[in-house]
C-alpha cells in the first residue's frame, strides 16, 4: 500500500517512484521465473506460474502426448529388432542395428520431434509476449 505524505509532496513523489520500481522489478523477476520454468523444466509450467492455467494445462497435456507418441514410435521401430535378437538367442544389440531398425520410422519420428519443439517454442514465446500485471496488496496477502 502506498502512503502519501500530504505535508511534503516531494516525499510522496519519492515513495510513489520507489513503489513503481519495486513493482517493475517483481514483474520482471516473475516473468523470468516463468520463462525459465517453461524453457528448462516443462512447457506450460511457466504459464501456470503466471496464473494462465488453461493454456498451461493444454501445453502440458500436449507435451506429454507428444512424448508418449515418440516413445510409441521408438518402441514400434525397435520391436522387430528386439524380437529377432531374443528369438536368435543373442541379447547384444549394436547401435548400428538400432539405427537400421529405426530407418522405417524416420519420417514420422522427425514429425513427432518437430511437433515437440514447436510446442516448447510456443510455450517460451507465449511467456515473452504476455504482459504480467502487478499484484495488488490484497492479492499478495491472501
Q: How many domains does the chain have?
A: 1
Share of the chain above pLDDT 90, in %: 33
d(CA 7, CA 119): 55
Of 31 and 24, the structure prediction assigns the larger pLDDT to 31
d(CA 54, CA 94): 44
pLDDT of res. 139: 47
Is residue 1 scored above 50 in pLDDT?
A: no
Please indicate, yes or no, if residue 2 is contained in any of the structural domains.
no
Is residue 5 scored above 60 in pLDDT?
A: no
Q: Look up the pTM and report it.
A: 0.61
Residue 32 is placed in which grid cell?
Answer: 523470468
Please indicate, yes or no, if residue 130 is contained in any of the structural domains.
yes
Average pLDDT, the chain: 77
* Helix 9-36 × helix 106-129 angle, to 10°: 170
pLDDT, one tens digit per residue, over 100-134 is 777 777 788 888 888 989 999 999 999 888 887 76
Range of the domain at 109: 9-135
Please indicate, yes or no, if residue 1 is contained in any of the structural domains.
no
pLDDT of res. 49: 92
d(CA 39, CA 125): 10
pLDDT of res. 9: 55
Please indicate, yes or no, if residue 141 is contained in any of the structural domains.
no
Residue 142 pLDDT level (bands cut at 50, 70, 90): very low
Please indicate, yes or no, if residue 142 is contained in any of the structural domains.
no
Half-sphere exposure of 19 (CA within 13 A, CB side): 14
d(CA 20, CA 42): 31
Please indicate, yes or no, if residue 4 is contained in any of the structural domains.
no
pLDDT, one tens digit per residue, over 46-75 is 999 999 999 999 999 999 999 999 888 888
pLDDT of res. 138: 44
Amino acid at each position: 500500500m502506498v502512503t502519501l505524505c500530504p505535508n511534503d509532496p516531494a516525499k510522496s513523489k519519492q515513495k510513489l517512484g520507489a513503489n513503481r520500481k519495486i513493482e517493475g522489478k517483481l514483474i520482471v523477476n516473475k516473468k523470468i521465473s516463468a520463462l525459465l520454468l517453461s524453457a528448462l523444466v516443462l512447457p506450460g509450467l511457466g504459464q501456470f506460474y503466471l496464473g494462465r492455467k488453461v493454456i498451461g494445462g493444454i501445453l502440458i497435456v500436449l507435451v506429454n502426448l507428444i512424448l508418449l507418441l515418440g516413445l510409441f514410435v521408438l518402441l514400434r521401430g525397435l520391436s522387430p529388432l528386439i524380437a529377432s535378437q531374443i528369438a536368435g538367442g543373442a541379447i547384444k544389440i549394436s547401435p548400428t542395428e538400432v539405427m537400421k531398425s529405426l530407418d522405417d520410422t524416420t519420417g514420422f519420428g522427425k514429425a513427432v520431434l518437430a511437433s515437440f519443439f514447436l510446442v516448447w517454442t510456443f510455450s517460451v514465446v507465449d511467456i515473452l509476449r504476455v504482459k504480467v500485471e502487478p499484484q495488488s496488496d490484497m492479492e499478495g496477502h491472501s
